[in-house]
Chain A
């Protein structure tokens, strides 16, 4: 089972140009709003026509500009879950699920509808109309409808964005079950980093219509190839950088030298570290900095809280003057913060070599 996509489409703001192939694993397409994620899905589903390229699903060519092939949506056997779910408001849940099954015998239609209804836990809701369902039930009904036609590829456009936050994790769990039971190629579009990580196996990072990273998600999160991908995958701290030696880098914005584990093949231009990977350590002997250990003194400039974590905006090396900007931000659990918040300033942070990501560009 495989979906191969290589398309180009001129859009008002930029040209969408993506190429990827995916098998039975779920591919999460991550990118900011307007990066071309939804457009990519719509091209695969046949709702938009690319300017050029080729789309093949298993042994069928769905689109090939060179051969002038453009299979209409209705013949693609590609299931699309719309962001708004697009349930037919005048039909019941059962009628919605059965909508794509009009060409099979009535008995089979009934059986397949029942199968999908029970697979997505919609029993008892068969005769309800979409407006009488909760957000999560609507999503499941739309999924059941898309899966009923046994699509060879399943495309999900921001499947969780229409839901309330408190419902999300449970519904995300059910979605994960559905996705792992599904045997075709699954594509999931999201702008939420954590959602992409939890639901996808592979990751395609899109920005302004270009694929800036494509591969197994762990790999991309651990070694983002570019600053942009690092930013999109949630990395918040960057500094301009230049090489000192094969395992030492000068971070010019942070005014310090850093030891790194990554061997540096090409000249470094940027260095980054994720906010939660910055470690607060006990102060070293008489406050002197131990550069070999990547430990530096720092002063807090500001903080912002979420229920369980706190983000600290920090200034390195010297006490901040008025209007000083923070050098970077660190994110810690509040329990940990309680332990050092009353310690005398400066605090000490450790930028562990294994967490530093170097970007040659």
Chain B
């Protein structure tokens, strides 16, 4: 047996933090974008969705250029004394970037389903954009936002290519389960790879079941109080 469970904690921590970041950024961006139209915003959409279509290694490489010592963002972080590359935050950045498009797409679809007159009615009643967002958009788009969050979490949990490029494989610091599996196979340790795979499947299933029962409980209580 192996005693080092650090890839589990690193994977979970990375996925949770990355999903939280993605959720806030993705939903906010989607709400901001949903109220605008024009070709400039279509270009924005293209850039926002790029991580979905690019191979993760390319995303990782671009992130490396951005966050590297000589990259524009890397220099910025260096000024506050932080080296991003090959650190735990790098795993979060990689996971957040690759899962962002999924959150953004699902959130936009969910938000566009909210009847525009409802938002306008709220505005005529004196509501600020923040209040419109919090009291009208989020509750009415909740099922779609939840779906986006699940997808993002799953994507973040499975992230490999970009993480390896940006964060490397440092056991105990940046080695997530997918990395651990890859390097176990590479080292010929099939037993270890299988165990990690089983753990990964277990985590994914647990998350999915948890969310499934939570949404069922939600809609059941809604049916009880609001009959629908």
Contact surface of A with B, Cβ cutoff 8 Å:
45-47, 72-80, 82, 84, 86, 88-90, 99-100, 102-103, 129, 131-132, 145-146, 149
- Which residues of A have CB within 8 Å of B117? 82, 84, 86
The answer for the CA separation of A47 and B121 in the assembled complex, in Å, is 9
B196 CB to closest chain A CB (Å) equals 43
B126 CB to closest chain A CB (Å) equals 5
Taking residues whose C-beta sits less than 8 angstroms from the other chain, chain B's interface range is 20 to 34
The answer for the CA separation of A77 and B124 in the assembled complex, in Å, is 7
B131 interface contact, C-beta 8 A: yes
- Which residues of A have CB within 8 Å of B189? none
Verify A72–B123 contact, CB threshold 8 A: yes
The answer for the CA separation of A47 and B117 in the assembled complex, in Å, is 10
Verify B126–A103 contact, CB threshold 8 A: yes
Q: A73-B123, A100-B127, A149-B126 are in contact. List 10 more A-B contacts (CB 8 A).
A: A47-B124, A74-B124, A78-B124, A80-B124, A82-B117, A86-B117, A86-B121, A89-B118, A100-B125, A102-B126
Verify B123–A74 contact, CB threshold 8 A: yes
- Which residues of B have CB within 8 Å of A72? 123
- 9 contacts across the A-B interface (CB closer than 8 A): A45-B120, A47-B120, A74-B126, A74-B128, A76-B124, A78-B124, A79-B124, A89-B140, A99-B122
- Which residues of A have CB within 8 Å of B228? 129, 131
Q: Chain B interface secondary structure, helix, strand, loop or mixed?
A: helix
- Which residues of A have CB within 8 Å of B139? 90
The answer for the CA separation of A259 and B139 in the assembled complex, in Å, is 68
Chain B, residues 116-146, CB within 8 Å of chain A (1/0): the string is 0110111111111001000110011000000
- Which residues of A have CB within 8 Å of B122? 88, 99
Minimal Cβ-Cβ distance residue in A for B142: A90
The answer for the CA separation of A79 and B126 in the assembled complex, in Å, is 10
A92 CB to closest chain B CB (Å) equals 8
A113 CB to closest chain B CB (Å) equals 13
Minimal Cβ-Cβ distance residue in B for A130: B226
Contact surface of B with A, Cβ cutoff 8 Å:
115, 117-118, 120-128, 131, 135-136, 139-140, 226-228
Verify A45–B136 contact, CB threshold 8 A: no
- Which residues of A have CB within 8 Å of B136? 88
- Which residues of B have CB within 8 Å of A80? 120-121, 124
Of the candidates A47, A84, A145, the one having the most CB atoms from chain B within 10 angstroms of its own CB is A47
B172 CB to closest chain A CB (Å) equals 46
Verify B118–A88 contact, CB threshold 8 A: yes
The answer for the CA separation of A100 and B131 in the assembled complex, in Å, is 11
- Which residues of B have CB within 8 Å of A131? 228
Contact of A99 among B115, B135, B140, B226 (CB under 8 A): B135
Verify A100–B118 contact, CB threshold 8 A: no
Contact of A73 among B115, B120, B135 (CB under 8 A): B120
- Which residues of A have CB within 8 Å of B124? 45-47, 73-74, 76, 78-80, 146
B12 CB to closest chain A CB (Å) equals 32
- Which residues of B have CB within 8 Å of A146? 124-125
- Which residues of A have CB within 8 Å of B131? 102
Of the candidates B117, B131, B136, the one having the most CB atoms from chain A within 10 angstroms of its own CB is B117
The answer for the CA separation of A309 and B125 in the assembled complex, in Å, is 45
The answer for the CA separation of A40 and B34 in the assembled complex, in Å, is 24
The answer for the CA separation of A100 and B149 in the assembled complex, in Å, is 31
Beyond A82-B117, A102-B131, A129-B226, is A75–B140 a contact (Cβ under 8 Å)?
A: no
Of the candidates B120, B126, B136, B226, the one having the most CB atoms from chain A within 10 angstroms of its own CB is B126
